[in-house]
Amino acid sequence: MTITETIPDDRRAKRNVAVLVAAQAILGSQITMIFVIGGLAGNMLTPIHCLATLPISMIVLGSMTTAPWLSQLMQNQGRKVGFFIGSIGGLVGSGVAAYALSISSFWLFLIGSYLTGTYMSAQGFYRFAAADSASDSFRPKAISYVMAGGLISALTGPQLVKLTDGLTGVPFVGTYLIAMAINIVGMSLFFLLDMPKPARRTADTPRSRSWGELLSTPQIGVAVICAMVSYALMNLVMTSTPLAVVGCGFTKGNAADIVSAHVLAMFAPSFFTGHFIARFGATRIVATGLAILGLAGLVALNGVELTNFFVALVLIGIGWNFGFIGATAMLTAAHAPHERGRVQGMNDAIVFGCVTLASLASGGLMNCSGGDIVQGWNAVNLAMIPFIGLAGASLIWLTLRPKPTGQ
């Protein structure tokens, strides 16, 4: 998306950040709600328990397939249009899921989950929208502040799950009805956005590079790898957590509290992450995030007490925050303005494609890789090792490679 005017004091950017923080807080709560119950609802609807997490995979698949065309639409028509479409997708998806639960249709439930992915895709662009009108110095902070809006959704989403438990005769239907209301109320915020107008393409507009050309740019390629690994591993573990917690004899309320603590840890550091990036550089912050993800795996492998679940999921959240926001900052600094739509759509399509695979693998590893719940949970956490190694190696390569002349 091309910026048509620059406001040095970032007044426009700060106004948009405030609106996007509110959107993240209100509309984002539906994702935390659905991630808490998605695997449990899937386990209830399907006799094939290896497919229990498939509804969550469908949400992420919906996000992956939506990202390229939604990003291009926003490049041409503006951010507001894309954000309204996302909320409508969340509204319809929740309605379809609620109806599917009422008639015990697993396959219709998957369709509702896929449509919910349209909202998840739109939400992913909030962070990029925050950067559109921001100065170079304010951009990492703008991204970080918008991500911090997830703090409120972290508090409200899982608690709404507990409040709606038993609200209707069919389990989980009440949660999806609340999600519908959230979309209706939350989309009104987008009328308050003051986004830059997308510029019309002319004969003089530079050609956007292809996906292959973009990914061969070292900083873009490494940023995509690190974002992909950070998000996929977070999703791999979080998707399995409610199943593991309940399977180990704890309650759905315990699972909701653990997910709430996890999502708090995902977004609470955002008040500082932008400042850390500005001071230490995005590469070091991403590396720190990967190290914290590895530490989370060690804690999870050390036992299945409630304390282990809480500590591991909090560390996963912090690791995701540093890794994903750091990678986003790397990406926004590595391409030309006229390439924003293509780069952002490509990034989120690749990231959420890998997250889709992670959520699918999560159910298989959890329910079908070992003799019991503990073995399945251990398999989930051991699966993180090679991917942390991949992202870490890519960062080392980027740091050590000879810099082109002039950089």
Query: Residue 122: inside a domain, yes or no?
Result: yes
Q: How confident is the model at residue 206 (pLDDT cuts 50, 70, 90)?
A: low
Q: Which residues contact 373 (CB under 8 A, 6 or more apart)?
A: 243, 244, 247, 248, 304, 366
Alpha-carbon torsion, ordered 189, 274, 321, 350, to 10 deg:
80
The b/e string for 170-190 (b: 16+ C-beta within 10 A; e otherwise) is ebbbbbbbbbbebbeebbebb
Q: How confident is the model at residue 9 (pLDDT cuts 50, 70, 90)?
A: low
34 vs 407, more confident: 34
CA distance 210 to 353: 18
Long-range contacts formed by 298-304: CB under 8 A, 24+ apart: 300/237, 300/377, 300/378, 300/380, 300/381, 301/378, 301/381, 301/382, 304/244, 304/248, 304/373, 304/374, 304/377
Strand runs labelled E in 2-95: none
Query: Residue 19: inside a domain, yes or no?
Result: yes
pLDDT score recorded for residue 201: 61
Query: Residue 132: inside a domain, yes or no?
Result: yes
Query: How far from chain centre, in Å, is Cα 338?
Result: 25
CA distance 407 to 405: 6
pLDDT score recorded for residue 2: 41
Q: What percent of the chain has pLDDT over 70?
A: 94
pLDDT score recorded for residue 6: 42
Query: Residue 164: inside a domain, yes or no?
Result: yes
Q: What is the pLDDT of residues 48-96, one digit of tens each?
A: 777 777 888 899 889 888 988 998 888 888 889 999 999 999 999 999 9
Could you tell me the residue range of the domain that residue 90 belongs to?
Answer: 11-197+213-400
Longest dimension (CA), the chain: 67
Find out whether 240 and 362 touch, Cβ atoms under 8 Å.
Answer: yes
What's the number of domains the chain is made of? 1
Q: By C-alpha distance, which of 224, 199, 228 is closest to 211?
A: 224
Q: By C-alpha distance, which of 295, 271, 262 is closest to 381?
A: 295
Find out whether 34 and 326 touch, Cβ atoms under 8 Å.
Answer: no
Domain CATH for 312: 1.20.1250.20
117-131, 147-161, 192-206, 303-317: which range is least confident on average? 192-206
Q: By C-alpha distance, which of 197, 28, 263, 201 is closest to 125?
A: 28
**Per-residue DSSP letter, 251:** -
Q: Is the pLDDT of residue 387 over 60?
A: yes
pLDDT score recorded for residue 169: 76
Query: Residue 42: inside a domain, yes or no?
Result: yes
pLDDT score recorded for residue 204: 61
pTM above 0.85, yes or no: no
Query: How far from chain centre, in Å, is Cα 144?
Result: 14
Mean pLDDT of all residues belonging to the chain: 86
CA distance 99 to 116: 14
pLDDT score recorded for residue 310: 95
Query: Residue 346: inside a domain, yes or no?
Result: yes
Query: Residue 314: inside a domain, yes or no?
Result: yes
- Take residue 259 and report the two structure tokens written for it: 């997910």
CA distance 38 to 44: 10
Find out whether 60 and 361 touch, Cβ atoms under 8 Å.
Answer: no
Query: Residue 158: inside a domain, yes or no?
Result: yes
